Structure 1
């Protein structure tokens, strides 16, 4: 029973260790990715810092650095918490193994003492003949026969437990060293975070001396965003009207065909209510065909798992209200993502290219996914055409450099009909 309980305990420890390893591996992968992105940002910042004229690009890089360092510190905190849990579990395992080892050694010592006292053939015979009856004598004889085998098995248990104890102690020491390294890394990141924040204050101070030019840049940014949003909304409105006309025309064609069949068969025409009317909602119109309805359901079914429109990038502005460097509140209808120069922009889901629009010198591509639309703005080149069917992660163009900030950024918006949705709950973790 003791061995059975020990096996159950060790099995639970192995399951917990497996879950920890999986979580730790994911956190480590994320920490390494953040380190690579920070290294890239550091190189870009050094390039911009060599320019004596302070720009919004420097400020944006610093903001991105600060966000990434804060995320990395939070990631390290999670890793440390995981290691603390693992160290605690390892300590419990070591104590249990040590207790089992002590008990096994105590039992083995008792067997050795018994064997020593009954080592002669005379003592063994006396042990058998001292039985009360024949059955007891037989059981004592079998006991002596099995005693040696049991001693060997008990010695094996002791050796196995000692090995397990040694392995677990080594794992515990490794976890403690890893925790120490993580804490040292965390302190280093906190120092770098402080430097980045100080640099941010300095850059903002320098930028304040160029308020006229900076405000003009910000006005240009807001103007371009507003133009893009208007173009997207107008394009989606046209798509809804096209879908409505197609549905109405299909209904009329079906009615004409039904009337022709009824006339040929010399019977009255059955009056059927049209599927799409003027009172139909945008959702009903866009899902009027089985293919569109299926695509809408597939898109909805992948909520939270859609890939980002770039392989690597940092979020500059999320959905909703944000405040710029001058304290001006702005509204964002989607994600503003900073990425590498000439980065490939890709589709987040299967769909059809419905619009390629030139907005203020850069391209916007609009894809239709049933009643959902995704838009990709600030592209310098486009590799797809209107009417083309696109698969998930297929390239649709390359990113352009934002003329106001000097950053390669892409604007990504997500719509259900005309309604702009927050991409956060739709895109997978980057």
Structure 2
């Protein structure tokens, strides 16, 4: 396979992956029933969809470029093969014509009988045999070369059809993104008209999230202190004192970095870390983990073997489950129900609880946080590429 084809195969895989992501975004962000909409949230969701669609259009463009290179390469091969075939046919025709003129059965016999000695006769027999073999090989070369050209032509037709299909897809995607950008502009205009109202709502939400994050941090520190009680040795403040089995589990967890399963099947609506708000750039938000939008009724599942460290309940009634994996902790927040108990051993894929669905917004959002002791890590670097 040529480097062009290899590059296109990778782009094709990327395109299929992005298409899958767009379908998920449509299902999870836009098809959920909402009693009440919020322009700020709608704009965030729409902006995310536009970003992914732009990635799709760029991938299609790159894939079309690679396909163009393959088409040119094919056309060049066909031209070269046609020239070779013309030469082979001309040589073969000349050979047949000469044979017809000089190689009747009588002339062949005379050619052998006119030999001066036995050795010369033997050589002349060999020459006749070699000439026959050469003619046969030339005929076979013509057949093979013709089949090669047919195969290349079939491949060229297929590639041209693929290119046409990609161009049609790109055109469709561009029309869709135009409509989405018009909708985006309308939402931006609506928000600007009531900017102070939306900023107040946003700042209130940020304060609430900070309070929840601080409470979870306190719970983690208390859970670590409780887990260390009765164990031999001395641990640093805020760090687990690990047994031999826990050290082994920690090592296995680290070996699976980048390949852990997703806690729910969904779409990331907020990333980890400090980042400017997508609409109000002057306001920063701090993602303590990943916000993952899933389907209504989705169950949060443990991403690795471990032990339930703590189960907590928020002021709003939603629950959080913390699972210990050596000195790593995964936290699954915004649960409606919980299926596990404190101290319970769990395995990869164990259902921990059902994610809460907001009746007003229709959103089913899991907040997935990863800690090493009390230090927060980016879960996106640990779970597999979706």
State if a TM-score over 0.5 links the two structures.
yes
1:113 paired residue among 74, 97, 101:
97
Q: Higher relative contact order by CA 8 Å / sep ≥ 6: 1 or 2? A: 2
TM, length-normalised to structure 1: 0.77
Contact 1:232/1:375 (<8 A) preserved: no
In the alignment, what sits opposite 1:179?
163
Q: d(CA) in 2 for partners of 1:402 and 1:216?
A: 21
1:221 paired residue among 187, 205, 226:
205
1:277 aligns with 2:277: no
The alpha-carbon deviation at position 120 of structure 1 amounts to 0.8
Q: Secondary structure at the match of 1:308?
A: coil
Q: Give the direction of change, closer, same or farther, for the CA distance of 1:172–1:24 in structure 2 (3 Å limit).
A: farther
1:34 paired residue among 21, 38, 44:
21
Q: d(CA) in 2 for partners of 1:78 and 1:336?
A: 31
Q: d(CA) in 1 for partners of 2:238 and 2:267?
A: 33
Contact 1:336/1:409 (<8 A) preserved: yes
1:143 paired residue among 127, 135, 139:
127
Q: Give the direction of change, closer, same or farther, for the CA distance of 1:370–1:210 in structure 2 (3 Å limit).
A: same
Q: Give the direction of change, closer, same or farther, for the CA distance of 1:383–1:185 in structure 2 (3 Å limit).
A: same
In the alignment, what sits opposite 1:65?
49
Q: Give the direction of change, closer, same or farther, for the CA distance of 1:429–1:88 in structure 2 (3 Å limit).
A: farther
Q: d(CA) in 2 for partners of 1:142 and 1:245?
A: 97
In the alignment, what sits opposite 1:387?
343
Contact 1:317/1:337 (<8 A) preserved: no
In the alignment, what sits opposite 2:271?
317
In the alignment, what sits opposite 2:325?
369
Q: Secondary structure at the match of 1:326?
A: coil
Q: d(CA) in 1 for partners of 2:115 and 2:272?
A: 87
Contact 2:18/2:52 (<8 A) preserved: no
Q: d(CA) in 1 for partners of 2:113 and 2:220?
A: 101
Q: Which runs of 5+ in 2 are unaligned?
A: none
In the alignment, what sits opposite 2:182?
198
Q: Give the direction of change, closer, same or farther, for the CA distance of 1:417–1:94 in structure 2 (3 Å limit).
A: farther
Q: Give the direction of change, closer, same or farther, for the CA distance of 1:69–1:139 in structure 2 (3 Å limit).
A: same
Q: Secondary structure at the match of 1:247?
A: coil
The alpha-carbon deviation at position 421 of structure 1 amounts to 1.2
Q: CA RMSD in A?
A: 3.2
Moved more, 63-72 or 368-377: 63-72
Moved more, 98-107 or 410-419: 98-107
In the alignment, what sits opposite 1:338?
293
Q: d(CA) in 2 for partners of 1:147 and 1:399?
A: 82
Q: Which runs of 5+ in 1 are unaligned?
A: 1-11, 249-275
Q: d(CA) in 2 for partners of 1:310 and 1:224?
A: 24
Q: d(CA) in 2 for partners of 1:109 and 1:80?
A: 43
Q: Give the direction of change, closer, same or farther, for the CA distance of 1:365–1:282 in structure 2 (3 Å limit).
A: same
Contact 1:357/1:365 (<8 A) preserved: yes
Q: Give the direction of change, closer, same or farther, for the CA distance of 1:61–1:341 in structure 2 (3 Å limit).
A: farther
TM, length-normalised to structure 2: 0.85
